[in-house]
């Protein structure tokens, strides 16, 4: 992955999110990378030390406008990279139900090694997410750490 390359990790089906429960979204990589991979239990795993930008996108059903919508990138044992709670009605009006967030950090090796995408809402009934993804863009990667043993 040369600087500026990116890999999208996205949902492959619609997901019904139950009310009041933090729900981890299952993602699959759209391409392979020598610097990161996906594991079901850990999420996106960074194999190479580097500075990465992560773009979050969650597309909530814009027809369901009660309550609050929340999305974050959970980093095990750390603060999230992204975190946003917004009124469903406001989200539907300003972006058609799409949450879009951007953040960057150093990932890999003894630094933060993985992230997952989690969502939550407080509507009275399940809310459907039609699509969600985390796009990881390489900003500056230390290629001396390429091919670290997983």
Predicted confidence (pLDDT) per residue in 39-94, tens digit:
999 999 999 999 999 999 999 999 999 999 999 999 988 889 999 999 999 999 99
Question: What is the tens place of the pLDDT at every residue in 115-150?
Answer: 999 999 999 999 999 999 999 999 988 755 444 444
pTM score, whole prediction: 0.90
Handedness of CA 140, 145, 147, 149 (dihedral sign): negative
CATH fold, domain 6-144, is Jelly Rolls (2.60.120)
pLDDT at 53: 96
How many other C-beta atoms lie within 10 A of the C-beta of residue 85? 13
């Amino acid at each position: 992955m040369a600087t500026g390359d990116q890999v999208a990790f996205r949902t492959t089906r619609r997901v019904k999110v139950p009310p009041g429960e933090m729900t981890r979204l299952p993602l699959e990589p759209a391409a392979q990378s020598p610097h990161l991979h996906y594991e079901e239990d850990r999420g996106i795993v960074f194999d190479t030390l580097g500075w990465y930008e992560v773009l979050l996108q969650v597309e909530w059903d814009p027809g369901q406008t009660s309550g609050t919508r929340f999305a974050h990138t959970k980093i095990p044992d750390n603060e999230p990279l992204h975190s946003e709670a917004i009124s469903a009605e406001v989200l539907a009006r300003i972006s058609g139900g799409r949450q879009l967030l951007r953040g960057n950090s150093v990932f890999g090796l003894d630094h933060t090694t993985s992230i997952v995408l989690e969502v939550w809402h407080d509507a009275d009934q399940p809310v459907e997410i039609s699509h969600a993804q985390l796009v990881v863009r390489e900003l500056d990667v230390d290629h001396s750490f390429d091919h670290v043993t997983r």
